[in-house]
Amino acid sequence: MSWYEEIAKPAWAPPAALFGTVWSVLYPIIFLVYGYVAYRALTGDIPKAVLIPIVINLVVNFAFTPIQFGLRNFELALVDIILTLLTIGWSMWAIWPFSWLASAALIPYLIWVCIATVLQFSITVMNR
């Protein structure tokens, strides 16, 4: 993480410690919503196709850290976080007809990833 502290970031960038706190709140919400939807899809209550954006979202979400901090590839991390953002929206859209509450529960995740996307764009531009 010392590497992250040394790169150029916008003045409004949240402190590194905040990321862990936010994700420790968001991951249980994501787990509950996606778990609930997966259960309903696997029991035949809703179409299994609803799981497509969820699975893609989980893959790109979990890929971000190795890309950003392992590969230290800002551009690829930007592409990844944009895909994460898009698949959150797609997931919410797919879930909504079956559970508006489960879909709405993802709003904090959507907001945080919007902020993180703008931050990643700024970091990418500032560290060219």
| Statement: the pTM of the whole predicted model exceeds 0.85 | yes
User: If you count DSSP H runs as helices and E runs as strands, how many of each does the chain have, helices first?
Assistant: 6, 0
Residue 97 dihedral angles phi and psi, to the nearest 5°: -60, -20
Contact at 8 Å (CB) between 105 and 30? no
pLDDT, tens digit, 9 for 90 and up, residues 59-101? 999 999 999 999 999 999 999 999 999 999 999 999 999 999 9
Predicted pLDDT at 1: 60
